[in-house]
Structure 1
Amino acid sequence: MIEVIKLSKKFKEIVAVNSISFKVDKGKVFGLLGENGAGKTTTLRILATMLKPTSGTAVINGYDLASEPEKIRGEIGILFGGEAGLYDRLTARENIAYFGLLNGMDKVEINERVDELSRILEMEDFIDRRAGKFSKGMKQKVAIARSIVHNPSIMLFDEPTSGLDVSATRIVHNFIKELKNQGKTIIFSSHSMDEVGKLCDEVGIIHKGNIVEQSTLEGLRKKYGEDDLEEIFMGLVGGKYE
């Protein structure tokens, strides 16, 4: 479970996140939807303990973000879109195994987990090849496996399909659905209403650092009398519903 409580982040005079609050129950997928620069990545980096909030806090699986960040790190898996950040001279297996070691797993457990994830993510053909010459889709699969190797109960995905082709995007989507079926708690950020509509139980629309709406997808349709979720999103960030 994740509860965000009046979370804010300022960079000098710029307010990146402005006192936002939301809650994600166990086993649910929460979509953080917003344009580029809206505050999605900053929010997720704070929840991942990579940035300290200016004010406010969050409670993640019972641990307070402000006072117990080291305990939170063992509870979460993190995947950011864009550059996967793999070690080019290591194989896919070695990249994943290294993160397993960092998370305190033993070698037998790591080997079993890598084989399992290789099957799920269809990586058998390249699992023992060096990562330096991988395609972007191949790199993202390895990054996904690396983020989930220690089987965390909470996952933070920041635009994980950014730059991927249709086939690789489909694999990422199916993997997120499988994580939900396993009871994982997931925050998934995107600027695509279509993508959020496929994956999320509830959505928080963030604009200029503020949560301007939070609801289930069906709740949004009923409230604004509009079936097209993209039209609702554009209306909210464009001021149509003020």
Structure 2
Amino acid sequence: MLAIDAHKLRRTYRSRTGWLRPRTTETEAVRGVTFQVRRGELFGLLGPNGAGKTTTIKMLNTLLLPTGGAARVLGHDVATDPVAVRRRIGYVFGGDRGLYERLSALDNLRYFAELYGVEPREQKRRITELLDLTGLTGRERERVEGYSRGMRQRLHIARGLLHRPEVLFLDEPSIGVDPVAARELRRTVADLRAGGTTVLLTTHYMAEADELCDRIAVIAGGEIRALDTPERLKARVQERAVTEIEAYGAAEEHLAGIRALPGVRGVAVEDRGHVQVLTVQAERDADLHGPVLGALDGVRLGRITSREPTLEDAYVAIVEGAAAHDAPLPRTGPETPLPEVAA
């Protein structure tokens, strides 16, 4: 039995604007998403803001009804049998919501154990296990308001695991967490997968997805644009050369000039404080060093480095390709057998 089976899942939002002449507008947040997750698998769902990740997760965990299509979690339909689904899943989202700050971590877990229907005779042992799993043993009697962001996220995970869910949804658990805390969270998530829990993870951190996920689906514009293992996704851009350029004040016209150069396959920009980092993907045999610098004429530049493509480069190529063509790129998921997952 599959842990998650989504078939042509759709979600449309309707809104009314205006008063004298009201108009109804429709926005398709998810447009026919299809994928499967095997039991014991750690599956990543990646995409830019507004791509439909959280909407998809909310349909799978019964917080939203699908407009069309169908989805089953552990064999139970999310629309017609939501109670059975909820008994078998956990949901952890990023941010500070969902905890009582004036209570200790221990009291939070006791409260949610009652809420989730954990047997009283099992609560103490289960809470002790989860405090140890998430590295909060020794800090459990402190108020949550004094916790760091990373400690709160680990407490969120403990809360989501109280009732021993078979499937755990992690919606950007590392958001706003410092690198040390993020590493601890990744270790916790890896331990969950090793213990047999099926995990569906959304994240904006490509290194996190590359390290943890058995397979990854890239969603953009409400559609799945690619689905495969991290290694196969990276193989899509192995024939490309990647150049990173530190720039100060590059405008959109400079980026447009680079994108127009023959042999350029993608340009991304990231603001890191006062410096911009331009990532240029190009064909390996294209000599674009001079033309790229020419397109940045008048822009103050810093360090220029070349490197091998990463999962982030593959992700950027997939998302930019989807935006350019406004159509799904070829999927490898259906043709690729689901990987074997250790029990």
One fold, TM greater than 0.5? yes
Alignment of 1:26-41 (within 5 A): 26-41=39-54
Alpha carbons 2:30, 2:221 under 8 Å: kept = yes
Higher relative contact order (CA 8 A, sep 6+): 1
The aligned amino acid for 1:153 is E
Alignment of 1:1-242 (within 5 A): 1-12=3-14, 13-225=26-238, 227-239=309-321
Q: CA deviation at 1:9?
A: 0.8
Query: Would the aligned equivalents of 1:84 and 1:143 in 2 still touch at CA under 8 Å?
Result: no
Structure 1 pair 224–125 and aligned structure 2 pair: CA distance change class (3 A)? same
Q: Which consecutive unaligned segments of at least 5 residues does structure 2 have?
A: 15-25, 240-308, 330-343
TM-score in terms of structure 1 length: 0.95
CA shift, 1:74, in A, is: 0.6
> What's the offset of the Cα at 1:224?
4.3
C-alpha contact 2:113 2:163 (8 A) present in aligned 1: yes
Residue identity over aligned pairs, in percent, reads 38
For the residues of structure 2 that align with 1:133 and 1:112, how far apart are their CA atoms? 25
Structure possessing the higher radius of gyration over alpha carbons: 2
Q: What is the identity, as a one-letter code, of the residue corresponding to 1:109?
A: E
Aligned-residue Cα RMSD (Å) equals 1.6
Question: Does the 8 A contact of 2:103 with 2:144 survive in 1?
Answer: yes
Give a deviation string over 1:121-159, Cα, whole Å, max 9, x none: 221232012222322222212111100111111010000
Per-residue deviation at 1:88? 1.8
Q: Tell me which amino acid in the other structure corresponds to 1:105.
A: V
Structure with the higher strand share, 1 or 2: 2
Amino acid of the residue matched to residue 8 of structure 2? K
Distance 2:192 2:137 in 1: 20
Q: Given that residues 118 and 162 in structure 2 are in contact (C-alpha distance below 8 angstroms), is that contact kept between their aligned partners in structure 1? A: no
The 2-side partners of 1:33 and 1:102 are apart by 31
Query: Shift of the alpha carbon at 1:37?
Result: 1.3
Name structure 1 gaps, 5 residues minimum: none
Distance in 1 (alpha carbons) for counterparts of 2:175 and 2:235: 30
Once the two structures are TM-superposed, the CA of residue 82 in structure 1 deviates from its matched residue by 1.5
Cα shift at 1:89: 2.4
* Separation (CA, whole Å) in 2 of partners of 1:188 and 1:160: 8
Query: Does the residue aligned with 2:217 lie in a helix, a strand or coil?
Result: strand
Q: Distance in 1 between matches of 2:59 and 2:44?
A: 16
| Superposed CA offset, 1:83-115 (max 9, x none) | 242112221111112221122112231111111
8 Å Cα contact 1:84-1:140 kept in structure 2:
no
